[in-house]
Structure 1
Amino acid sequence: MDLNTVVEVRDARDAAPWGPGDAWLGGGTYLFSEPQPHLRRLVDLSRTGWTPAALRPDGSLEIAATCTIAQLSRFAKGLGAAAAPLFEQCCRAFLASFKIWNMATVGGNLCNALPAGPMISLTAALDGRCVLLAQDGAQRGVRVADFVTGAGRKDLAEGELLRSVTLPARALACRTAFRQASLYGLGRSGALVIGALDPLDGSLAVTVTAATVRPVRLWFPLPPGAQELRTALGSAVADDEWYDDIHGLPEWRRHMAFRFAEEIRRELGGAAR
């Protein structure tokens, strides 16, 4: 879609001071999908030269905000970690064409903060941490599970930039389990639940997305019993936090989230024993 209110596109490396009507441009799959009458200038991140994804010396994985879904998928195929299959599962949860895969970015998916965003699911489940850069150069970190605060809402100040997401080495070593449900064969996720079992201490993290307006990550020092899990999930999600749109009623999303969480508890809890 043409953005006929935009009068300038500037390289992020040589942009004038941030002002009203500015927006960061990554892949642009959302920006160009619908009218953006409030925008006047796009600040293009495509020439920043950030490495899409790289392992650090401490074993953690840094994913640049500009990393595309296609780049992440290719990188994960060579990732020698127990959690590697989860990357492809979440990439496939896009149900998008190759054109979207080659343009849509990890950072854009997080910053859109849509409940069904599969990069939110992936990075929240693996205890990811966002690096945010302010206009004055200040840097701060925030967990992905806290970065997305609601449907379309995130902890991002005016002009602030999501630079990258880092996944800790310990999370990459986890055995994972993935469950997803949609009302349609090729529909948007209505419920997506991921389990991550830590092989070092036997702790279990269960992360619910798509069914809720924000990612909900539950951590247990040991795999819980069925009732403990139900109680924890019921307490963590308020009644008005089960998402409601054309892709699923809150009651159905809640049912599927509880069902998938229990399936994952049995799958990974049995592995722990």
Structure 2
Amino acid sequence: MDLNTVVDVRDARRPAPWRPGDAWLGGGTYLFSEPQPHLRRLVDLSRMGWEPLRQLPDGSLEIAATCTITQLSRFGRRFEAVAAPLFEQCCRAFLASFKIWNMATVGGNLCNGLPAGPMISLTAALDGECLLQAQDGSRRRVKVADFITGAGRKDLGEGELLRSITLPARALASATAFRQASLYGLGRSGALVIGALDPQDGSLAVTITAATVRPIRLWFPLPPSQDELRDAIGSAVTDADWFDDIHGLPAWRRHMGFRLAEEIRRELTRDGVR
């Protein structure tokens, strides 16, 4: 779609003062999908030259905000980490064409903040941490689960940039389980639940997305029983937290959230006993 209110596109490599009507341009798959009448200038990140994926000395993985879904998928197929299959599972949850895969970015998916964003699901489930950079160059870090604060809302200041997401080595060594539900065979995710079992201490993290307006990441020091899991979800997710749109009513999303979480508990913990 043509954005007829945009009058300028600036290369992000050339610093300039941030002004009203500016927006970061990554892959542009969302920006160009619908009218953006408030925009006047796009700040293009495509030439920043950031390495898409980089393993750090401590074993963690840094994913650049400009990493495309195609790049992440290819990397995941050869990545030797235990949690590597989760990369492809979440990429496939896009249900998008190869054209979208080649342009859409991990950072763009997070910054849209949509409940069904599968890159939110992936990075929140693996205890990811966002690196944010302000216009004055200062940086701060925030967990992905805290970065998304609601449907389409995120902890991002005016002109602030999501630079990268880091997944810790311990999470990458976790055994994972993935469940997704949609109202239609090729529909948007109505519920997406991921479990991650820590090999060191046996703790279990269960992350609910798509069904909720923000990621809900529950951590259990020991594998919970069925009742303990249900109680934890019931306490963490209020009635207002279950998302409501044409892709699923809150009551159905709530049912699927509980059901898929229990399936994951059984898969990863042998019915809660290891």
Partner of 1:48: 48
Instruction: Indicate conservation of the 8 Å contact 1:149/1:155, yes or no.
Output: yes
Partner of 2:120: 120
Partner of 2:253: 253
Task: Give matches, 1:1-273, under 5 Å.
Answer: 1-270=1-270, 273=274
Q: CA deviation at 1:78?
A: 1.2
RMSD: 0.8
Where structure 1 has 5 or more consecutive residues not aligned to the other structure, the ranges are none
TM-score by length of 2: 0.99
Q: Take 1:247 and 1:237, find their aligned partners in 2: how far apart are those partners?
A: 19
Task: Kindly provide the amino acid, as one letter, of the partner of residue 267 in structure 1.
Answer: E
Deviations 1:33-69 (A, max 9, x none): 0011110000000000000011111000000000000
Q: Take 2:76 and 2:53, find their aligned partners in 1: how far apart are those partners?
A: 9
Task: Kindly provide the amino acid, as one letter, of the partner of residue 253 in structure 1.
Answer: R
Q: CA deviation at 1:261?
A: 0.5
Task: Kindly provide the amino acid, as one letter, of the partner of residue 42 in structure 1.
Answer: L
SS in 2 for 1:102: helix
Q: Take 1:198 and 1:112, find their aligned partners in 2: how far apart are those partners?
A: 30
Q: Take 2:116 and 2:169, find their aligned partners in 1: how far apart are those partners?
A: 25
Instruction: Indicate conservation of the 8 Å contact 1:66/1:105, yes or no.
Output: yes
Q: Take 2:168 and 2:267, find their aligned partners in 1: how far apart are those partners?
A: 23
Deviations 1:189-244 (A, max 9, x none): 00000000000000000000000000000000011000000000000001011000
Q: Take 2:264 and 2:7, find their aligned partners in 1: how far apart are those partners?
A: 50
Task: Kindly provide the amino acid, as one letter, of the partner of residue 33 in structure 1.
Answer: S
SS in 2 for 1:14: coil
SS in 1 for 2:85: helix
Q: Take 1:167 and 1:16, find their aligned partners in 2: how far apart are those partners?
A: 31
Q: Take 1:115 and 1:230, find their aligned partners in 2: how far apart are those partners?
A: 21
Identity, % of aligned positions: 82
- Displaced runs of 4 or more, over 4 A: none
TM-score by length of 1: 0.99
Task: Kindly provide the amino acid, as one letter, of the partner of residue 108 in structure 1.
Answer: G
Q: CA deviation at 1:16?
A: 1.8
Q: CA deviation at 1:15?
A: 3.6
- Number of equivalences: 273
Q: CA deviation at 1:270?
A: 1.4
SS in 2 for 1:13: coil
Task: Kindly provide the amino acid, as one letter, of the partner of residue 187 in structure 1.
Answer: G
Instruction: Indicate conservation of the 8 Å contact 1:15/1:43, yes or no.
Output: no
